[in-house]
Amino acid sequence: MSWRRRRTTVLLFERVAIVGVGLIGGSLALAARAAGLIGHVTGVGRTEANLATAAARGIVDRTTRDPAAIGPVDLVVLAVPVRSMADIARALAPHLRPGTVVTDVASVKAPVVETMETLLPPDVSFVGAHPIAGTERAGAGAADAELFRGARCVLTPTARTDAHALARVEALWRGVGMTVERMSPVAHDRVLAWTSHLVHVIAYALAAVVDAADPNLLRYAGPSFRGATRVAASAPEAWVDILLANAPAVGAATDAFVAEVARLRQALASGDEATLGTLLRAGRAARRRVEES
Amino acid sequence: MSWRRRRTTVLLFERVAIVGVGLIGGSLALAARAAGLIGHVTGVGRTEANLATAAARGIVDRTTRDPAAIGPVDLVVLAVPVRSMADIARALAPHLRPGTVVTDVASVKAPVVETMETLLPPDVSFVGAHPIAGTERAGAGAADAELFRGARCVLTPTARTDAHALARVEALWRGVGMTVERMSPVAHDRVLAWTSHLVHVIAYALAAVVDAADPNLLRYAGPSFRGATRVAASAPEAWVDILLANAPAVGAATDAFVAEVARLRQALASGDEATLGTLLRAGRAARRRVEES
């Protein structure tokens, strides 16, 4: 059966609830609908204004502020801050039909996966997922059907993960254009500590310290400063949770980074041109491999 | 006289030499020609291939690899690495007519301005300039007539700077779309230490340390890591020079940044959610002011 034929006849998930219709949840709904992967979408959110935006943009078919009112669905996507996930899981649990697949998009996985596997009923299948995509923008207004294309999604199955549910969640993320791979929750959190969580620590610290030195300095922010601090525009509440949830790994990455900066600082203080050159060339070589990946 | 009429009749500089037809030098030539500010352009460079690109793209009218062969010009723009400036100034000096204006685009100003004021003949007018624009791309192929539009240019006059030359250089940068302001060379270097040089230290260190921890991590670089390390793709040779030329100010900014990261690290280690929240909110508030500036 051809893909074209299949997408008009068989949906991956007939009825879907997106809890948190923000940048990621909203973009997933838009992209999965555009790809013919999902049918009816219920959007669950805290604020009427954002839900109204989601409805007006055709991201969702129906909206509710009550997670208990999602009705019978085949898939629940939890796209809410880490802090809210346990409460939402408790509210949802009694209303999920056997066989429902629950997935999430959180940037930290070990504590989230453990919480979900504990709180959700045993006849519901949880699959941890983290689409590594996004911008510092938030809300349904920022949702973009092309957000995930070409980027990477990490699924974090455990011994308790249902193989069929895992395959369907994998098909969902592949269907919106992502490269999908599997990793343990702990391995995921270590990778993200280095490649994302540390970057947020740096961005918030850099923006804050320059402002503290002299607020007028910010007027001279060129493209390098703007690029390096872009993610400091992200919601502090969400990032307090992510950093604390992954504190040991983020701490280790931060210590290694500070030690590297100290080496560079020492070479600068002693006018050691050769060492400075070696350090900068190592940085450029690494950065070039990012472009190739 | 209307602007439209004026640009067809009076050029700001009739004959110009651009020494270093890279991203900045090439973009200035393109933008100033498009705005009708300059006439004939001689491009001076080290490599035939880049000069050929500059000529093919219409950035320059004539090319030479010898700074002594620029012929009679009204303006010389030095758009070369900091390290090369003294040698080029020595090579150019005997060939500059009285009244020639010499300017530059270096990211560090105090040592450059001092060198130029020492090496150039007294009847030549040097005006230090730093257009705060650019990307990590290099070469005439990356030149872009719109590179400077909406960005800021700092001019760094001293007691020795000729007022008329200063006004003409200011008109040139305004004419290509920049907001121009004046600052002492030392004040400029302090500002750039915080808003650009520190950012490069961070970007090189971040890319290098993640790669050193595990090269496979780079495969998971998402938009935050890419944004934060973008400038680590810049030429290490150029940045060794800039960092060493501004070492005391860069060192002070780096120390303050490391202290801020340490505060964040401490809050993370002790699970101090309140302090972590305060630090991240300060970062976001600062970052938002960048967007407004």
B181: closest chain A residue by CA: A220
Q: What is the pLDDT of residue B156?
A: 98
Distance CA B23, CA B139 (A): 5
Tokens of B181: 């302001």
A288: closest chain B residue by CA: B233
Phi-psi region at B42: left, alpha or beta (left = phi > 0; alpha = psi -120 to 50): beta
Fold of the A188-292 domain: 6-phosphogluconate dehydrogenase C-terminal fold (1.10.3660)
With bands split at pLDDT 50, 70 and 90, how would you rate the model's confidence at B89?
very high
Q: What is the mean pLDDT of chain A?
A: 94
With vertex at residue B229, the alpha carbon angle to CA B227 and CA B232, rounded to the nearest 5 degrees, is: 135
With bands split at pLDDT 50, 70 and 90, how would you rate the model's confidence at A291?
confident
Tell me the backbone φ, ψ of residue B187, rounded to 5 degrees. -65, -40
The domain spans of chain A are: 3-183, 188-292
Domain at A3-183, CATH from 3.40.50.1370, 3.40.630.30, 3.40.50.720, 3.40.640.10: 3.40.50.720
A135: closest chain B residue by CA: B223
Distance from CA of B154 to the nearest CA of A (A): 9
CB contact under 8 A, B233 and A260: no
Q: In 10 A of CB A182, how many CB atoms?
A: 14
Q: What is the pLDDT of residue A18?
A: 98
Distance from CA of B189 to the nearest CA of A (A): 12
SS3 content of chain A, % helix, strand, coil (to 5): 60, 15, 30
Tell me which of A292 and A286 has the higher pLDDT. A286
**What does the pLDDT average to over A271-286?**
98
Q: Which among A69, A165, A77 is positioned nearest to A124, based on CA atoms?
A: A165
Task: Write the residue in B231, B260, B271 that is nearest to A227 by C-beta.
Answer: B231
Whether A246 and A108 have beta carbons less than 8 Å apart is answered as yes
A103-107, B205-209, B219-223, B271-275: range with lowest mean pLDDT: B219-223
Distance from CA of B101 to the nearest CA of A (A): 26
Distance from CA of B43 to the nearest CA of A (A): 26
Distance from CA of B156 to the nearest CA of A (A): 14
A247-269 and A185-192 are packed helices; what angle lies between their axes, rounded to 10 degrees?
A: 30
SS3 content of chain B, % helix, strand, coil (to 5): 60, 15, 30
Q: In 10 A of CB A10, how many CB atoms?
A: 11
Distance CA A65, CA A68 (A): 9
pLDDT digits (tens, 9 = 90+) for B34-55: 999 999 999 999 999 999 999 9
Task: Write the residue in B211, B227, B255 that is nearest to A286 by C-beta.
Answer: B211
pLDDT digits (tens, 9 = 90+) for A11-33: 999 999 999 999 999 999 999 99
Distance CA B240, CA A280 (A): 8
**What does the pLDDT average to over A214-231?**
93
Give contacts of B215 with chain A, Cβ < 8 Å: 286, 289
Suggest the residue from A82, A199, A216, A255 to mutate for an interface test with chain B (most B CBs closer than 10 A). Answer: A199
pLDDT digits (tens, 9 = 90+) for B239-281: 999 999 999 999 999 999 999 999 999 999 999 999 999 999 9
Q: Which among B134, B105, B128, B187 is positioned nearest to A222, based on CA atoms?
A: B134
pLDDT digits (tens, 9 = 90+) for A235-263: 999 999 999 999 999 999 999 999 999 99
DSSP A96: P
Distance CA B93, CA B270 (A): 61
Task: Write the residue in B196, B222, B256 that is nearest to A196 by C-beta.
Answer: B222
Q: What is the pLDDT of residue A150?
A: 93
Distance from CA of B281 to the nearest CA of A (A): 6
CB contact under 8 A, B219 and A293: yes
User: What H or E segment, with its residue span, contains residue B24?
Assistant: helix B23-34
Tokens of A153: 């999604």
Evaluate if residue B135 carries a pLDDT over 80: no
With bands split at pLDDT 50, 70 and 90, how would you rate the model's confidence at A8?
low
Kindly state the greatest CA–CA separation across chain A: 69
Q: What is the pLDDT of residue A74?
A: 97
Evaluate if residue A5 carries a pLDDT over 80: no
Q: What distances in angstroms separate CA A127 from CA A170, A210, A249, B98, one per listed residue?
A: 9, 41, 22, 75
Q: What is the pLDDT of residue B180?
A: 97
| Model ipTM over 0.90 | no
Evaluate if residue A267 carries a pLDDT over 80: yes
Rounded to 10 degrees, what is the CA torsion of B207, B211, B214, B215? 120
Task: Write the residue in B207, B277, B284 that is nearest to A232 by C-beta.
Answer: B284
CB contact under 8 A, A191 and B265: no
B200: closest chain A residue by CA: A224
Q: What is the pLDDT of residue A1?
A: 41
Task: Write the residue in B211, B243, B260 that is nearest to A208 by C-beta.
Answer: B260
Task: Write the residue in A206, A217, A284 that is nearest to B257 by C-beta.
Answer: A206
Q: Is A266 exposed, middle or buried (0-12, 13-18, 19+ CB in 10 A)?
A: middle
Task: Write the residue in A227, A247, A276 that is nearest to B230 by C-beta.
Answer: A227
- Is the Cα dihedral A110, A114, A116, A117 positive or negative? positive
What's the whole-model pTM score? 0.88
Length reported for chain A: 293
Whether A44 and A64 have beta carbons less than 8 Å apart is answered as yes
Whether B210 and A286 have beta carbons less than 8 Å apart is answered as yes
pLDDT digits (tens, 9 = 90+) for B90-100: 999 999 999 99
Q: What is the pLDDT of residue B8?
A: 53
Give contacts of B212 with chain A, Cβ < 8 Å: 256, 260, 282
Distance from CA of B68 to the nearest CA of A (A): 30
Q: What is the pLDDT of residue B222?
A: 87
With bands split at pLDDT 50, 70 and 90, how would you rate the model's confidence at B113?
very high
What is the pairing mode between strands A152-155 and A129-132? antiparallel
Whether B174 and B59 have beta carbons less than 8 Å apart is answered as no
With bands split at pLDDT 50, 70 and 90, how would you rate the model's confidence at A293?
low
Query: Helix, strand, or coil here: A132?
Result: strand
CB contact under 8 A, A204 and B284: yes
Phi-psi region at A36: left, alpha or beta (left = phi > 0; alpha = psi -120 to 50): left
